[in-house]
Structure 1
Amino acid sequence: MEITQGNRTAEDESITICRRIQRLTLHLLTPTTTTGNNKLALEMLTCASRVKLNVSVEELSSYMRGKNREIQEAVYDYFNARPELQTPVEINKDDHRELCMRQMVGLVREAGIRPFKYMVEDPAKYFAVLEAAGSIDMSLGIKMGVQYSLWGGSVINLGTKRHKDKYFEGIDNLDYPGCFAMTELHHGSNVQGLQTIAIFDPLTDEFIIDTPHDGAIKWWIGNAAVHGKFATVFAKLMLPTHDRKGASDMGVHAFIVPIRDMNTHQTLPGIEIHDCGHKVGLNGVDNGALRFRSVRIPRDNLLNRFGDVSRDGKYMSSLPTINKRFAATLGELVNGRVSLAYSSVSVLKLAATIAIRYSLIRQQFGPPKQPEISILDYQSQQHKLMPMLASAYAFHFATFYLVEKYSEMKKSYDEQIVADVHALSAGLKAYVTSYTAKSLSICREACGGHGYAAINRFGTLRNDHDIFQTFEGDNTVLLQQVAGDLLKQYQAKFKGGTLAVTWNYLRESMSSYLSQPNPVTARWEGEDHLRDPSFQLDAFRYRTSRLLQSVAVRMRKHSKTLGGFGAWNRCLNHLLTLAESHIESVILAKFIEAVQNCPEENSRAALKLVCDLYALDRIWNDIGTYRNVDYVAPNKAKAIHKLTEYLCFQVRNVAKELVDAFDLPDHVTRAPIAMQSEAYSQYTQYIGFDP
């Protein structure tokens, strides 16, 4: 019941009182009446008077890197002791490919690191090795991913015992280098549209692999141009029939196809291999194109976990439809997306480390007749780099959680966990790789002319990482998968269905998020409130819930006139925004959880500071959305902006410790401007000056 006082309500009076108390508190704590240069000086003095956090790099690093720290250090130590295996700044394509192969062989056969065994027995350890290898040379990390995640992963996850017994050891020790031949010239993301065919011949008990036209040529196949001896080829399985059709299409399946002679390394008959040539980046990986002309393989080379063909040509599967078999097949290949999301974070850490260390030592300008100041003391530089540093930490914990869920999935094969990992890996891969790609250019610009020097690595990192946004699923397509899953979960909620783990917050709070925002809390602007994890997470989830509800209404409306596909296309940008919003909510939830679980007090305080910056920076970047629905009042929006800038300053004060906690030694960063001592002398010596 509404109680009125003249033309004002009790609620209005409550809002006014709260506002006055907050304003009085602000006046008491922080003088705001000064103007001009005096105001700036007072604000800087107030900030400087705050006590700097005492962060233990060792404690924070130990908490972040966990039990797999040792295996990463083994990778780093191996290459530090073998300078001839380190990738030079200038190297041509062919030499880079051979070096990359030697690097992988050295790790496996000399250093005794067995990635394939780790992938099967301890996935977290495997992803840690990939991260470390990619820090040495991104081409090495990708080539290892092709050998073990893709070629090896397809054999182990899509095959059965006979395939594991025959191929496991050779894949593990690199006797059997292989490829993953899925993408075609005309088809990439639409895997069900692949046009390579595999026709069963019952007379010889063989499959005949054919490329029916040039559009079906396998394209961008890693390891194919030079080193691969086998390929997992994805093709439509065709069974002969006695009717006029001639053959029955059983859907896309995977087949092991030898492509080169084991002894001579000569290309086998019926197989045509061409080099895809020089690429924008990752030129240590030998991408090739494959065409098949009536290539015969034994029936046993069908990877038959989800579908098999008997000697007399009968098809057998525990899954009743082509779509179910296809979904099961792709579900087993999710480790590629997991590794890309995880590895992309390592690229972001590396770039942020180089840019921030340089920004700490580089001095420029300053007050008149006083020493120059570090460029990281400038608010503009903090605004570029500190939210990026916060994001690197946020992504670290989110992808660490993804790896844990993936490991759990491989042990239990629980349907809910499988669905959760599929959606989460798609979303994180898309979101993290897109963010990292943009950040690499920002890091280069933040280092001025020195960032343009190849020796300082930004160009190589940017070029090598760029393709992360495309392979293992184009980012736009992957975000659509996430949005599609969200809509299914939304419908399930109103039909009494269960929700996957990632979407739990929708079940718990969709109704409250869709109600009108509280006009009182919309005006709260105190620092304690803005830095409260509950407020931050509620804000992220409120935005996601509103986007989900509104796009569901739009889809229903447009479907009536445009059909399902037309409605989807009409709402596509809305759907992509929804997917990104949901993934940001998951990332923040995992970051908050990591802060709370950190056992050491100072490390926890540092992580809390970084987490607050991540959350408030994201809210400020989308402040228009919150203002449009009155979730945030004008005074609160202003307070969020002000606090975000202040948190950037606070994070700057511990930026050195935060990047040091990534534990990337100088021989791994390898950028002179990022050296922790004598950076400029290293730089000058590189171009020829005497020490």
Structure 2
Amino acid sequence: MESQNTKYSNPTDEDYNINQDQAIVTRRIQRLSLHLNPVSEHPVFSDSLQLLTCAGRAKINVNVENLSKYMRGKHRDIQERVYEYFNARPDLQTPLEISKDAHRELCMRQLMGLVREAGIRPFKYVVEDPAKYFAIIEAVGSVDMSLGIKMGVQYSLWGGSVLNLGTKKHKDKYFEGIDNMEYPGCFAMTELHHVTNRNSYRFEIISNQCVQMFKAFRLLQLLIRSRDEFIIDTPNDGAIKWWIGNAAVHGKFATVFAKLMLPTHDTKGVSDMGVHAFIVPIRDMKTHEALPGIEIHDCGHKVGLNGVDNGALKFRSVRIPRDNLLNRFGGVSRDGKYTSSLPSINKRFAATLGELVGGRVGLAYSSVGVLKIAVTIAVRYSLLRQQFGPPKQPEISILDYQSQQHKLMPMLASTYAFHFATSHLVEKYSEMKKSHDEELVGDVHTLSAGLKAYVTSYTAKSLSTCREACGGHGYAAVNRFGSLRNDHDIFQTFEGDNTVLLQQVAAYLLKQYKEKFQGGTLTVTWNYLRESMNTYLSQPNPVTSRWEGEDHLRNPNFQLDAFRYRTSRLLQSVAVRLQKHSKTLGGFGAWNRCLNHLLTLAESHIESVILAKFIEAVRSCPDASSRAALKLVCDLYALDRIWNDIGTYRNVDYLAPNKAKAIHKLSEYLSFQVKNIARELVDGFELPDHVTRAPIGTQVAKEAYSQYTQYAGF
């Protein structure tokens, strides 16, 4: 395998301008030179990301304060304000046992208190400073996940739809009421029978990801010109708005997505202008009773998140003013004339959904926050709990067992990797909101879909693993694994089912692949795709496939090359398969035949992005001790992922048997090394005990059992 550059540093644009034939020859010479000389003596390792010798050797001394400062960044102060407010208000802390109705009312009081008493106003940050907004959401979700979701519904969905889909008149009218919770609202998109219907999963028409979404949308809005208003109607039960957060109890307004039907003078009678968003009052501002023509029902008890009042909405000829159309992408004059800056229904709907991508960003970011809590509890308990040991010697902690390390240390490494990847996503999202750059829009849409799917699926599995790793005490409700698992589970479905989102990632990669072979310009910022059909898909180098030295395996370029090689192979092979099967099965049939392959491609790409961002974070860390710890964790993340998919690499002779064995051995040793600093690593998340709220996961180990017994009345 050839690397994409001649130094062990991150690739630059200059590297890609080198004549490929000459570059390949040069790289082969250098690889052979490295093979003949000890790697550690070679001058190419003068890079700032020098290989760090594995402790064991010596344990890395981690400055937890510096590590935490680097991890939490500039928004740690606002998170501390959230934590301190709830710590000072025990009456607002969610008890272990609480009914659905009581939890909903508590959740509303929590949100009102945070906004009106603590003075934390998230709404202004939704557009001005999304990174700060997501930091607030993460902290609030750590207190109670239901509260985090309820806040997200109020400000990201209901409020965000007004800011992103409306115009100045809507912002002027609704901003203050949304901000101070006078106008609690909801976001009515999902319908009982239809959510999305993507008929566009075909290799030939990947250019527009949203082309066929919501083809089956049922709810209707009809303009009545003589009254200057719209009539909203639910034509059948399949069109009932379902799972609408804030609808069952507290919401007074709803952003309702419906087909806009305009009267015409021809035989058709009406013209379908596609899906638009409308502000619909659903309850009286004074009496809080449902308004005429609006049926509101409760979706009932859920597996988790019972502090959120999900409801169902049905409309019977409800009249709303024409100005209630959120008309950023399309408006209607009083005489019934429709105008839009976008030429088609599909483009308008794609633009509408594009403005709502922040929900996926928030879920990915918040999911990492949940994983931090679970890993912190599991690691601290595993260090505390002692069980068995050598004969006539003291018992050892369960984290000293290799099996426990195998469960938790790669998970801890992944948590750090996901933190940096989702932080990067938030930065890109913030930049996109300011610049509206088309290249950046495509990147953010794809990366948010991929990270939301990948991270939430990983976290869901990890929550069960953490519970099992803590044995019987992990089963106690007071230690939170059950509630975390139940509340987080729906993250895999929120803002798009994970399987559907991964298909969007695969579709976007195939679009880029196709454009490359049609002579087009790649519009993505993932530079490695530019190299995918030459450097990364050249035949594996028989020399490097056998290298098994620790310095080589821990080199970031080897790790990145391995991840990217796998993605490139998957991309090329699935493109060939789709083209082959489409001749006999058609576009839809070919996509379905290759679906598992496509999902694997998407996950492989996301893992490549995650690793690249982790390596960048290691390089950028200013504190030497923190950088050493992060490098160790990054290496574990990379090698563990390679080993988990070792069959793929062996099947294409990318790794010789001896090298595969060396990777397995080194990943186990790195797990042991990470175990030695596991306490410092979880302390780096800076989650106080009143946030983790699990007796077995307290920072001061000797207090764990004393706190735990108090819950049983001792």
TM-score of the two chains, using structure 1 as the length reference: 0.93
1:429-457 per-position Cα deviation (integer Å, ceiling 9, x unaligned): 00000000000000000000000000000
Residue 381 of structure 1 pairs with residue 404 of structure 2: yes
**Which residue does 1:128 correspond to in 2?**
135
**Which residue does 1:86 correspond to in 2?**
93
**Which residue does 2:274 correspond to in 1?**
251
Matches within 5 A, 1:12-161: 49-161=56-168
**SS at 1:268's partner residue?**
coil
- In the alignment, is the contact (CA less than 8 A) between 2:165 and 2:355 conserved in 1? yes
**Which residue does 2:613 correspond to in 1?**
590
Residue 441 of structure 1 pairs with residue 448 of structure 2: no
**SS at 1:599's partner residue?**
coil
Matches within 5 A, 1:294-333: 294-333=317-356
Cα distance, 1:508 vs. partner? 3.1
Residue 206 of structure 1 pairs with residue 229 of structure 2: yes
- In the alignment, is the contact (CA less than 8 A) between 1:192 and 1:252 conserved in 2? no
**Which residue does 1:293 correspond to in 2?**
316
Cα distance, 1:471 vs. partner? 1.1
Matches within 5 A, 1:552-631: 552-631=575-654
Supply the AA of the counterpart residue of 1:141. Answer: G
Cα distance, 1:262 vs. partner? 0.5
Query: Residues 47 and 166 of structure 1: is their aligned pair in 2 closer, same or farther, counting only changes over 3 Å?
Result: closer
1:352-403 per-position Cα deviation (integer Å, ceiling 9, x unaligned): 0000000000000000111100000000000000000000000000000000
1:239-261 per-position Cα deviation (integer Å, ceiling 9, x unaligned): 11223322111111000000000
**SS at 2:536's partner residue?**
helix
CA distance, structure 2, for counterparts of residue 104 and residue 125 of structure 1: 17
Residue 392 of structure 1 pairs with residue 415 of structure 2: yes
- In the alignment, is the contact (CA less than 8 A) between 2:54 and 2:632 conserved in 1? no
CA distance, structure 1, for counterparts of residue 477 and residue 367 of structure 2: 20
Q: CA RMSD in A?
A: 1.8
CA distance, structure 2, for counterparts of residue 142 and residue 312 of structure 1: 41
CA distance, structure 2, for counterparts of residue 82 and residue 485 of structure 1: 47
**SS at 1:364's partner residue?**
coil
Supply the AA of the counterpart residue of 2:540. Answer: P
Supply the AA of the counterpart residue of 2:380. Answer: R
Residue 684 of structure 1 pairs with residue 691 of structure 2: no
Query: Residues 472 and 16 of structure 1: is their aligned pair in 2 closer, same or farther, counting only changes over 3 Å?
Result: closer
Cα distance, 1:49 vs. partner? 4.5
The one of 682, 685, 689 equivalent to 1:662 is 685
Supply the AA of the counterpart residue of 2:529. Answer: L
CA distance, structure 2, for counterparts of residue 268 and residue 598 of structure 1: 56
Cα distance, 1:408 vs. partner? 0.5
Cα distance, 1:17 vs. partner? 12
- In the alignment, is the contact (CA less than 8 A) between 1:345 and 1:392 conserved in 2? yes
CA distance, structure 1, for counterparts of residue 127 and residue 351 of structure 2: 19
CA distance, structure 2, for counterparts of residue 354 and residue 500 of structure 1: 43
**Which residue does 2:12 correspond to in 1?**
none
Supply the AA of the counterpart residue of 1:314. Answer: K
CA distance, structure 2, for counterparts of residue 409 and residue 47 of structure 1: 40
Supply the AA of the counterpart residue of 1:370. Answer: Q
CA distance, structure 2, for counterparts of residue 163 and residue 19 of structure 1: 66
- In the alignment, is the contact (CA less than 8 A) between 1:189 and 1:474 conserved in 2? no
1:60-115 per-position Cα deviation (integer Å, ceiling 9, x unaligned): 00011110000000000000000000000100000000000000000100000000
**Which residue does 2:452 correspond to in 1?**
429
Matches within 5 A, 1:630-649: 630-649=653-672
Supply the AA of the counterpart residue of 2:366. Answer: S
- In the alignment, is the contact (CA less than 8 A) between 1:548 and 1:578 conserved in 2? yes
- In the alignment, is the contact (CA less than 8 A) between 2:364 and 2:455 conserved in 1? yes
CA distance, structure 1, for counterparts of residue 414 and residue 32 of structure 2: 37
**Which residue does 1:184 correspond to in 2?**
191
1:321-373 per-position Cα deviation (integer Å, ceiling 9, x unaligned): 11100110000000000000000000000000000000000000000111100
- In the alignment, is the contact (CA less than 8 A) between 1:502 and 1:586 conserved in 2? no
- In the alignment, is the contact (CA less than 8 A) between 1:53 and 1:606 conserved in 2? yes
Supply the AA of the counterpart residue of 2:455. Answer: V
Supply the AA of the counterpart residue of 1:130. Answer: I
How many residues align? The count is 655
CA distance, structure 2, for counterparts of residue 131 and residue 207 of structure 1: 38
- In the alignment, is the contact (CA less than 8 A) between 1:394 and 1:611 conserved in 2? yes
**Which residue does 1:459 correspond to in 2?**
482
1:442-484 per-position Cα deviation (integer Å, ceiling 9, x unaligned): 0000000000000000000000000000010000000000000
1:32-62 per-position Cα deviation (integer Å, ceiling 9, x unaligned): xxxxxxxxxxxxxx99842000000000000
1:500-540 per-position Cα deviation (integer Å, ceiling 9, x unaligned): 34432111343111111111100000000000000000000
The one of 433, 439, 453 equivalent to 1:416 is 439
- In the alignment, is the contact (CA less than 8 A) between 1:189 and 1:477 conserved in 2? no
**Which residue does 2:257 correspond to in 1?**
234
Supply the AA of the counterpart residue of 1:203. Answer: S
**Which residue does 1:539 correspond to in 2?**
562
The one of 657, 672, 690 equivalent to 2:695 is 672
Cα distance, 1:412 vs. partner? 0.8
The one of 497, 501, 504 equivalent to 1:474 is 497
**SS at 1:208's partner residue?**
strand
**Which residue does 1:224 correspond to in 2?**
247
Supply the AA of the counterpart residue of 2:77. Answer: E
**Which residue does 1:281 correspond to in 2?**
304
- In the alignment, is the contact (CA less than 8 A) between 1:489 and 1:503 conserved in 2? no
- In the alignment, is the contact (CA less than 8 A) between 1:239 and 1:249 conserved in 2? yes
Query: Residues 492 and 688 of structure 1: is their aligned pair in 2 closer, same or farther, counting only changes over 3 Å?
Result: same
CA distance, structure 2, for counterparts of residue 49 and residue 390 of structure 1: 19
Supply the AA of the counterpart residue of 1:241. Answer: T
- In the alignment, is the contact (CA less than 8 A) between 1:192 and 1:251 conserved in 2? no
- In the alignment, is the contact (CA less than 8 A) between 1:202 and 1:313 conserved in 2? yes
Question: Any gaps of 5 or more consecutive residues in structure 2?
Answer: 1-29, 42-52, 198-213
Cα distance, 1:18 vs. partner? 9.6
**SS at 1:593's partner residue?**
helix
CA distance, structure 1, for counterparts of residue 165 and residue 187 of structure 2: 12
CA distance, structure 2, for counterparts of residue 379 and residue 591 of structure 1: 25
**Which residue does 1:30 correspond to in 2?**
none
Residue 508 of structure 1 pairs with residue 531 of structure 2: yes
Supply the AA of the counterpart residue of 1:459. Answer: G
Query: Residues 15 and 301 of structure 1: is their aligned pair in 2 closer, same or farther, counting only changes over 3 Å?
Result: closer
Query: Residues 250 and 681 of structure 1: is their aligned pair in 2 closer, same or farther, counting only changes over 3 Å?
Result: same
Cα distance, 1:492 vs. partner? 1.2
1:536-595 per-position Cα deviation (integer Å, ceiling 9, x unaligned): 000000000000000000011111111111111111110000000000000000000000
CA distance, structure 2, for counterparts of residue 380 and residue 543 of structure 1: 28
Supply the AA of the counterpart residue of 1:672. Answer: P
Cα distance, 1:20 vs. partner? 11
Cα distance, 1:272 vs. partner? 0.2
Supply the AA of the counterpart residue of 1:329. Answer: T
- In the alignment, is the contact (CA less than 8 A) between 2:56 and 2:673 conserved in 1? no
CA distance, structure 1, for counterparts of residue 62 and residue 459 of structure 2: 26
**SS at 2:226's partner residue?**
coil
